[in-house]
Amino acid sequence: MSSPARKVVIVGAGPVGCLAAMAFAKQGWKAELYESRPDIRLPASKLANKQRSINLAISHRGIAAFDAIDPAATQRFMQAVTPMRGRMIHSLNGDLDSQLYDRDGQCINSIDRALLNEELLEDAAASPNIRVFFNHKVTSADFDAKIMTVRNVESNEDLSVGFDFCVGADGSYSIVRRQMMRVVRMDYQQEYIKHEYIELRMPAGQDDDGKPTFLIDPNHLHIWPRHSFMLVALPNKDKTFTCTLFAPSSDFDRLSSADAILDWFRTYFPDALLLIGEKNLLNDFSQNPRSPLMCTKSKPYHYKDRAIILGDAAHSMVPFYGQGLNCGLEDVRVLNALLLEEGVKSTPPSSAIELSDNVDKRLARALDRYSESRYDDLIAICDLAMDNYVEMRHAVTTPGYLFKKTLDNLLYALSSRTKISLTSLGPLLSRMPYPPGTPSGWLPLYTMVTFRPDISYATAQKRATRQARIIAGFSWIVMLLIGLAGMWIMWLALAFRTQVQS
């Protein structure tokens, strides 16, 4: 008789938790998904979500993860996205500058966060191997005893839930991470940046037939860079835009009255104010929270063969590369590939070869490899996200940035002519974390991070640093040559004048 499947408990039914549940269920495990909040698919939750339309950008890493685990979901999500092919920079004087993301026309995709989560939940709940428990908040876990305590927040009852393996996908303030820190010598770092954000809504306009229409181009991510702060806007399917204002906390503190808010917007975002509308703006400022931005780093991400943290539970990052969720979904893909590579079974290990001190050697090895290999990548993307804030709110308008970007794109066009499509990478990425070998040619950093899930974040960062040094060296040579040419022209002019005078 074959052994029964092992039980994995997943804490948090956000996008990362749902995808993780599906990955384990697909490998034959029995999965239980515990979520502290009510089911977001219920009418009451949907109504609450409708009040605020929050979206995010999904790009190739997220899509590759869906493809590896739940390919049907990819098809559905892609129907619900609005592709954005570049940044639209809004200058203070109202000028617009479209900066495309990719020479081959590849796009990032704006999608409603709630819709994405609902679709994933729907798929998870439909799997016979997955049970979902809403209103169940995990309050503690004993990984050695393989038991966790869960509070039913409706009845206020505490339950003991046994497990073979525990996945913490419970977001930035993860209880699983905190419980793991009691038994793992985990390095952990948390940093709040001095900036906060607030979400605002730009309503839909009306076309000549009275139908809703976008007020600005829907196929761009709009940015109003103002050096120390910025406003961004992403399109929604209902023709509205979700705008996010990022600014230092001290600036927000000064916006304490309706007059102060309107004056500030009239000074720095006059065109956006017209589009959002004064009444809507003041309403959003009074209704929507000012939220902090933080970055967390930890290592390792697992404990023996008992637990792992994924997604924001393992790495919160500032949202300026649009990679937080993409990276969390990639965590699931990478873990899934390592479990396959190590031959981890869904049934309990039976022979002494597979067990050591009651630890499943294969599972422990897969998790060791995960923590070891994933660390550099997660640190790289957390740091890149932080750097990109300066690029988005300041550098995008400077001549130096535009010159370097032009050179970057020129070298890309000259050295890497073929487009690597996601479809061609799919089969490889569902089997292994990253294909072996180094990618050829010159590749812009944004392209590597956003459109090349076959290149790890750490590789992308290292390569971009090398390329940036070459561009900087080249820029110095160009400046030196311009300087020398100027001096030569001056010398010729002086010599000519001396000749004329004599």
Ligand X SMILES: Cc1cc2nc3c(=O)[nH]c(=O)nc-3n(C[C@H](O)[C@H](O)[C@H](O)COP(=O)(O)OP(=O)(O)OC[C@H]3O[C@@H](n4cnc5c(N)ncnc54)[C@H](O)[C@@H]3O)c2cc1C
Binding residues for ligand X, rule: CB under 6 A, are 11-17, 34-37, 56-57, 137-138, 169-171, 175, 197, 244, 311-312, 319, 322-326, 328
Considering beta carbons, is residue 58 or 364 the nearer one to ligand X?
58
Residue nearer to ligand X on the CB measure, 57 or 334: 57
CB of residue 367 vs ligand X: minimum separation in angstroms?
18
DSSP-derived 3-state class of residue 426: helix
Helix (DSSP H) and strand (DSSP E) numbers for the chain: 16, 23
Terminal Cα distance for the chain, rounded: 111
Residues 6+ apart with CB under 8 A from 497: none
User: Which residues make beta-bridge pairs with 11?
Assistant: 34, 168
Q: Long-range contact list for 262-269, CB < 8 A, 24+ apart?
A: 268/92, 268/224, 268/226, 268/229, 269/90, 269/224, 269/226, 269/231
CB of residue 468 to ligand X, shortest distance in Å: 24
Distance in Å, CB of 411 to ligand X, minimum: 28
- Measured from the CB of residue 320, what is the shortest distance to ligand X in angstroms? 9
Least CB distance from residue 453 to ligand X, whole Å? 13
At closest approach, how far in Å is the CB of 14 from ligand X? Answer: 2
What tokens appear for 439 in the block? 């990618």
188 touches 296 (CB < 8 A): yes
What is the Cα–Cα distance from 411 to 406, expressed in whole angstroms? 9
Would you list the DSSP string of 66-130?
HHHH-HHHHHHHHHH-EEE-EEEEE-TTS-EEEEES-TT---EEEEEHHHHHHHHHHHHHHSTTE
What distance in Å separates the CA atoms of residue 231 and residue 242, rounded to the nearest whole number?
A: 10
29 close to 297: Cβ distance less than 8 angstroms: no
Minimum distance, C-beta of residue 253 to ligand X, in the bound complex (Å): 20
Q: Name which of 112 and 164 has its Cβ closer to ligand X.
A: 112
Cα 33–Cα 39–Cα 44 angle in degrees, nearest 5: 175
By beta-carbon proximity to ligand X, the closer residue of 319 and 349 is 319
Q: For residue 386, give the nearest of 473, 471, 311, 315 by alpha carbon.
A: 315
- The residue behind tokens 């995990």 is 138
Secondary-structure percent of the chain, ordered helix, strand, coil, rounded to 5? 45, 25, 30
User: To the nearest whole angstrom, how small is the minimum distance from the Cβ of residue 87 to ligand X?
Assistant: 13
Let me know: does 202 contact 233? Beta carbons within 8 Å: yes
CB 188 to ligand X: min, Å? 16
Which residues are within 8 A (CB) of 29 and not within 5 positions of it... i.e. 6 or more apart? 5, 6, 7, 8, 129, 165, 346
- Residue 62 CB, shortest distance to ligand X, in Å, is 6
How far is residue 113's CA from residue 209's CA, in Å, rounded to a whole number?
30
Which tokens in the block code for residue 322?
């649009």
CB of 400 to ligand X, least distance (A): 27
Question: What DSSP designation does 396 have?
Answer: G
Ramachandran quadrant class, 146 (left: phi over 0; alpha: psi -120 to 50; beta: rest): left
Determine the Cα–Cα distance for residues 177 and 162; give it in Å rounded to an integer: 18
Q: Tell me how far, at minimum, the Cβ of 139 lies from ligand X, in Å.
A: 7
Whichever of 45 and 416 has its CB closer to ligand X, that residue is 45
Q: In this complex, which beta carbon is closest to ligand X, that of residue 220 or of residue 362?
A: 220
